[in-house]
Amino acid sequence: MNPEELNKKRVQYITFLKKQPKGFVYCDNEPAQTMQVKPALNKTEQLKSLNCKYVDCTACPLGTQGRTQVVFGKGSPQTSLMFVGEGPGRDEDTQGAPFVGRSGKLLTQIIEAMGLTRDDVYISNVVKCRPPENRTPLPNESSTCKNLLLLKEIDIVKPKIICTLGSTATKALLGDELKITATRGMFVEWRNVLVLPTYHPAYLLRNPAEKRTVWEDMKKIMAKLEELQSNEE
Ligand code: SF4
Ligand code: URA
């Protein structure tokens, strides 16, 4: 190609670039004649590519303390409502999905009582690897995993409401000094999302009388979702 032709190509290419939508991804490893423009990744693809990076994660001690697999969040990336728990237990570690054991069955019932299914919401945890003997994750484990995965999941899904289940999730998002009893059932504005802390389903299994309290909290969430929806229309 002579310099003039090359320059013409350059101008054409810059014009082409300017016309592309914001955030498009350019794929450079194809032969020049068939260079393709890949559209910006959708939410499902973004989550997939995020998770792909961490399938073998050992960034915190939980990566090398007997976990079977990294248990990523699951559900609809288009949802307005996200639930965040503490971390995988034995069943989750075996099956590779969040909240599938006894606590998970109760969470599923709660979600269904709200007129939703698990596929309508997004369910995740602060840490993605099972702590040994199901101990509470240590602060450095929570903060490492939160920064690597949870905050990014939240940025991708962009829920309107996050319901934190129990103290570990509530502290991870709203701050360490926070007591679940002080904020339970109240919406707290956090990074453009409304966070409502409630009891963890495992706590409800030990204290079934508190199921009523959690149901009151879920009613607040449903009302708020409706309100937000009608403001949009
Ligand atoms: Fe990585 Fe999170 Fe597992 Fe720690 S808990 S090893 S940060 S995926
Ligand atoms: N408890 C949690 O906090 N998360 C799970 O995924 C299962 C049980």
Tokens of 132: 């040994």
Question: Is residue 157, in this structure, part of any structural domain at all?
Answer: yes
Query: Does some domain include residue 162?
Result: yes
Each residue's pLDDT, cut to its tens digit, for the chain (233 residues) gives 788 888 888 888 888 878 877 666 665 555 555 566 777 899 999 999 999 999 999 999 999 999 999 999 999 999 999 999 999 999 999 999 999 999 999 999 999 999 999 999 999 999 999 999 999 999 999 999 999 999 999 999 999 999 999 999 999 999 977 777 789 999 999 999 999 999 999 999 999 999 999 999 999 999 999 999 999 88
CA distance 166 to 186: 13
Residue 1: inside a domain: no
Is 27 contained in some domain?
no
Which ligand is nearest to the Cα of residue 168, counting in written order?
Answer: 2
Give a yes or no: residue 12 inside a domain.
Answer: no
User: Could you tell me if 107 and 165 are in contact, meaning their C-beta atoms sit under 8 angstroms apart?
Assistant: yes
Point out the ligand nearest to the CA of residue 55: 1
- Of 67, 92, 163, the residue with max ligand 2 atoms within 8 A of its CB, to mutate for a pocket test, comes to 92
Contact (Cβ atoms closer than 8 angstroms) between residue 171 and residue 179: no
Is residue 37 assigned to a domain?
no
CATH number at residue 153: 3.40.470.10
Strands of the sheet with 74-75, listed across from one edge: 74-75, 122-125, 81-85, 161-165, 193-198, 188-190
CA distances from 177 to 2, 135, 170, 181 (A): 67, 20, 10, 12
d(CA 201, ligand 1 centre) in Å: 23
Structurally, the chain folds into a number of domains equal to: 1
24 within a domain of the structure (yes/no): no
- Classify residue 13: in a domain, yes or no: no
Neighbours of 183 (CB within 10 A): 18
- pTM (2 d.p.): 0.84
State phi, psi for 115 to the nearest 5 degrees.
85, 20
Domain that holds residue 133: 43-232
